[in-house]
């Protein structure tokens, strides 16, 4: 009968953090296997040392390469694959002979560990048990003595080997994080923390629970001193005092104008997600604020959608008193939304010293276009049909100009309960220049529960089918509608244009 394979998690370093099951598995094993570099030392073996007996057969699985330089024809990956296959074959010889094999793994065997390469090659053929271990993530939090994730906070685990941009986006968007595999990646991880605005809260833990353990603020760590066995930690921010007073000495906060995208969190950018999380105050139209999850300690100032100037001024006043304010719009905050109102109010001398930044969001036109195909693939114009802030004559003139220039049109604010005639009038104006069968995308509540995207002809465009949550995309003379094999119609506008 074949022997049994164990993947034994040994915890983060302190031997007293091994589980009873790990000790049992080692005691019952005939063969103790572990990975090591060419020097033959193994952290895993040193953790388990007190439980390894002279009668245990020790099987060293020595990596051919530890850096990514290799003369193997398949490169680094090729060398590693060959090594794992050969190592698994060596363990299989013991298992076939009826010997029980314990593969030692620092931390947890299935968490970024080498054991999993043996597991994938052997577990389908041999009786296998994985003994979970305390990971460096838990060990680091315990040594820091700070909560890691509380309530609905999201904890993100990141390998430091990711590209800097990817790290930055993930760090900006998450509540708590642990970055593994530091060492040579440290300068990049530090830059990503800084770019994500998270460096001040970032902690550093080296060799958690091992000899030579070191804790520090990440910003204070000398890059040359960072070993592989270290992690960066962004602890939980729940219940933490929100920094209302900025550290610039003047007590001024800031206003960040954000857009939540056209619908749910799928179209919220990581940058905006992060800005919403770090704000002390949220200011905006209640409908948009309702899209932002409630956070303890964060104040929400909802209003209706008419009082833009007051809302902007209120946000600036809060910021002038040291609050970190996020002004929340739907879609993109610069498209018929709050960014202009905030910058207009901020132009007053009183607010010249208050920092204002605008973060981009996914606007309704782009979301609707993507649903319908690619109607905005060529030149297009964006017009709001609302005559609340500009006279209808101006709107009609712009529609005429865009239509005569054969531009595709994205029409925001086409109508509401009180504005019902604008779509009919717009259709009349457009028909002066556009054929009756011009495709129009009527997109309602894109990305939301009530999403409905239809393709109609300009002549059939029915104003009663349009409401506050609708955007219209009117094709040019070149815009095509094609029925696909699945019966769905798609709309696209070619990128070329014939010579006139």
Smallest gap from Cβ 275 to ligand SAH, in A, equals: 16
Assigned token pair, 481: 């509608």
CB 22 within 8 A of CB 131: yes
Of 350, 430, 452, 355, the residue nearest 385 (C-alpha): 430
Q: Which is nearer to ligand SAH, 139 or 263 (CB)?
A: 263
Summarize the chain as % helix, strand, coil (round to 5): 35, 25, 45
Of 348, 358, 344, 345, the residue nearest 313 (C-alpha): 345
Helix (H, G, I), strand (E, B) or coil at 78: helix
Q: Which is nearer to ligand SAH, 263 or 458 (CB)?
A: 263
Smallest gap from Cβ 335 to ligand SAH, in A, equals: 4
Q: Which is nearer to ligand SAH, 120 or 306 (CB)?
A: 306
Smallest gap from Cβ 258 to ligand SAH, in A, equals: 11
Which residue(s) pair with 440 in the sheet? 456, 474
Assigned token pair, 492: 């696209």
Q: Which is nearer to ligand SAH, 278 or 445 (CB)?
A: 445
Binding site for ligand SAH (CB under 6 A): 259, 262-263, 329-332, 335-337, 363-364, 368, 412-414, 443-448, 468-471
Assigned token pair, 222: 């000398």
Cα(215)–Cα(231) distance, integer angstroms: 10
Residue 405: enclosing H or E segment and its boundaries? none
Of 451, 86, 87, the residue nearest 263 (C-alpha): 451
Helical H runs in 123-157?
136-144
Q: Which is nearer to ligand SAH, 235 or 262 (CB)?
A: 262
**262 alpha carbon, distance to own chain's centre:** 17
Of 337, 241, 223, the residue nearest 280 (C-alpha): 241
Residue 119: Cβ within 10 Å count: 20
Cα(368)–Cα(31) distance, integer angstroms: 61
Smallest gap from Cβ 118 to ligand SAH, in A, equals: 50
Smallest gap from Cβ 416 to ligand SAH, in A, equals: 7
CA distances from 346 to 10, 46, 245, 260 (A): 58, 62, 19, 22
Q: Which is nearer to ligand SAH, 263 or 283 (CB)?
A: 263
Helical H runs in 105-233?
115-122, 136-144, 164-173, 186-195
Radius of gyration of the CA atoms of the chain, in A? 30
Of 317, 314, 313, 341, the residue nearest 329 (C-alpha): 341
Q: Which is nearer to ligand SAH, 24 or 452 (CB)?
A: 452
Smallest gap from Cβ 432 to ligand SAH, in A, equals: 23
Q: Which is nearer to ligand SAH, 113 or 284 (CB)?
A: 284
Measure CA of the first residue to CA of the last residue in the chain; give whole Å.
83
Smallest gap from Cβ 396 to ligand SAH, in A, equals: 18
Q: Which is nearer to ligand SAH, 84 or 336 (CB)?
A: 336
Smallest gap from Cβ 471 to ligand SAH, in A, equals: 4
Residue showing the smallest CB distance to ligand SAH in the complex:
331
Q: Which is nearer to ligand SAH, 281 or 445 (CB)?
A: 445
Smallest gap from Cβ 302 to ligand SAH, in A, equals: 17
Q: Which is nearer to ligand SAH, 158 or 443 (CB)?
A: 443
Smallest gap from Cβ 469 to ligand SAH, in A, equals: 5
Smallest gap from Cβ 109 to ligand SAH, in A, equals: 46
């Amino acid at each position: 009968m074949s022997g049994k394979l164990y993947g034994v998690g040994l915890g983060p370093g302190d031997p007293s953090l091994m589980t009873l099951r790990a000790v049992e598995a080692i005691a019952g094993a005939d063969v103790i296997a572990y990975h090591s570099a060419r020097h033959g030392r193994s952290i895993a073996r040193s953790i388990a040392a007190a439980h390894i007996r002279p009668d245990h057969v020790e099987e060293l699985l020595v990596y051919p390469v530890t850096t990514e330089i290799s003369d193997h024809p398949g490169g680094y990956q090729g060398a590693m694959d060959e090594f794992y296959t050969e190592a698994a074959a060596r363990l299989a010889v013991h298992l076939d002979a009826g010997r029980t094999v314990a593969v030692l793994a620092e931390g947890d065997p299935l968490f970024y560990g080498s054991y999993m390469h043996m597991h994938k090659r052997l577990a389908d053929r041999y009786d296998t048990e994985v003994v979970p271990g305390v990971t460096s993530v838990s060990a680091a939090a315990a040594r820091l003595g700070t909560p890691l994730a509380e309530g609905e906070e999201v904890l993100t685990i990141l390998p430091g080997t990711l590209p800097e941009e990817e790290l930055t986006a993930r760090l900006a968007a998450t509540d708590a994080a642990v970055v593994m595999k530091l060492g040579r990646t440290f300068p990049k991880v530090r830059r990503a923390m800084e770019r994500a605005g998270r460096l001040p809260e970032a902690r550093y833990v080296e060799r958690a629970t091992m000899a030579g353990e070191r804790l520090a603020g990440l910003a204070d760590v000398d890059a040359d001193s960072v070993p592989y066995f270290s992690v960066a930690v962004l602890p939980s921010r729940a219940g933490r005092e929100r920094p209302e007073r900025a550290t610039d000495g003047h007590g001024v906060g800031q206003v960040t104008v954000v857009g939540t995208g056209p619908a749910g969190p799928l179209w919220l950018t990581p940058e905006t997600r992060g800005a919403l999380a770090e704000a002390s105050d949220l200011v905006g139209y209640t409908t948009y604020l309702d899209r932002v999850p409630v956070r303890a300690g964060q104040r929400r100032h909802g209003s209706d959608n008419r009082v833009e100037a007051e809302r902007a001024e209120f946000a600036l006043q809060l910021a002038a008193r040291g609050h970190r304010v996020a002004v929340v719009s739907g879609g993109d905050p610069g498209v018929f939304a709050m960014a202009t109102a905030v910058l207009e109010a901020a132009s007053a001398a009183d607010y010249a010293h208050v920092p204002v930044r605008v973060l981009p969001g996914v606007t309704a036109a782009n979301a609707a276009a993507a649903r319908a195909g690619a109607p905005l693939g060529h030149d297009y114009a964006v017009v709001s049909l609302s005559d609340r802030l500009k006279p209808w004559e101006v709107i009609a003139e712009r529609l005429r100009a865009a239509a005569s220039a054969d531009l595709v049109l994205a029409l925001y604010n086409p109508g509401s309960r009180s504005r019902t005639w604008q779509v009919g009038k717009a259709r009349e104006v457009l028909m002066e220049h556009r054929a009756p069968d011009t495709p129009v995308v009527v997109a309602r509540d894109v990305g939301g529960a009530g999403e409905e995207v239809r393709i109609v002809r300009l002549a059939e465009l029915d104003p009663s089918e349009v409401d506050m949550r609708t955007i219209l995309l009117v094709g040019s003379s070149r815009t095509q509608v094609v029925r696909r094999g699945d019966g769905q119609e798609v709309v696209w506008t070619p990128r070329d244009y014939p010579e006139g």
